[in-house]
């Protein structure tokens, strides 16, 4: 697994620094997280790693497409380790995300939208977010 992450980073033309490896593993583990959350998760397992580095690293991941930004109403940056298109359940209370995989739905909406042919807009991704309360 550690070597795998190393290779993954290289695939994306990122130098495999210990900081990046650590942060990627945490993102992989959390699935969705804010910079802040990642930083807290690091805790004292890597004492010299600073918040600034967390932001830098996450930004470098976004740039190459290794992770994606997610939309939140939390006024915090949120990132998603899964970059393929999928829906989300978003908890308005805790601001947590759960993946909601439904390729049929995504396909249906995509087809509908492409028929519409929206002017003056270059579509990049479709986000479907079900907002509400995650119980438990």
Partner DNA sequence: GTGATTGCAAATTTTTTGCAAGATA
Partner DNA sequence: TATCTTGCAAAAAATTTGCAATCAC
Q: Is 108 in the site for a copy of itself (CB under 8 A)?
A: yes
Three state DSSP letters for 75-90: CCCEEECCCCCCEEEE
Measure the CA angle with vertex 118, ends 80 and 72; round to 5°.
25
- Alpha-carbon distance 129 to 33, whole Å? 16
Q: Is 134 in the site for a copy of itself (CB under 8 A)?
A: yes
Among positions 40-79, residues that touch DNA (CB under 7 A) are 46, 48-53, 55-57, 59-60, 75-77
Q: What is the CA radius of gyration of the chain?
A: 17
Which of 14, 30, 89, 134 binds DNA (CB under 7 A)? It is: 14
Q: Which is nearer to DNA, 76 or 107 (CB)?
A: 76
Q: Is 55 in the site for a copy of itself (CB under 8 A)?
A: no
Question: 24: part of which helix (H) or strand (E)?
Answer: helix 18-30
Report the 10 Å Cβ neighbour count for 34.
19
Q: Is 102 in the site for DNA (CB under 7 A)?
A: no
Q: Is 109 in the site for a copy of itself (CB under 8 A)?
A: yes
- Alpha-carbon distance 73 to 34, whole Å? 12
Q: Is 51 in the site for a copy of itself (CB under 8 A)?
A: no
Q: Which is nearer to a copy of itself, 20 or 68 (CB)?
A: 68
Token duo for residue 31: 């699935």
Positions touching a copy of itself (CB under 8 A) are: 69-73, 75-78, 89-90, 92, 98, 100, 102, 105, 108-109, 112-113, 116, 118, 120-136
């Amino acid at each position: 697994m550690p070597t795998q992450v190393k290779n993954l980073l290289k695939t994306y033309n990122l130098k495999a620094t210990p900081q990046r490896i650590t942060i990627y593993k945490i993102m992989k583990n959390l699935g969705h997280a804010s910079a802040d959350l990642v930083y807290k998760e690091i805790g004292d397992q890597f004492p010299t790693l600073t918040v600034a580095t967390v932001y830098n690293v996450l930004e470098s991941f976004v740039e190459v497409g290794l992770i994606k930004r997610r939309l939140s109403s939390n006024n915090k940056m949120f990132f998603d380790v899964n970059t393929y298109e999928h829906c989300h359940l978003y908890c308005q209370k805790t601001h947590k995300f759960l993946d909601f995989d439904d390729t049929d739905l995504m396909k249906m909406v995509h087809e509908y939208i492409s028929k519409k042919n929206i002017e003056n807009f270059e579509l990049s991704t479709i986000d479907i977010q079900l907002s509400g309360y995650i119980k438990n």
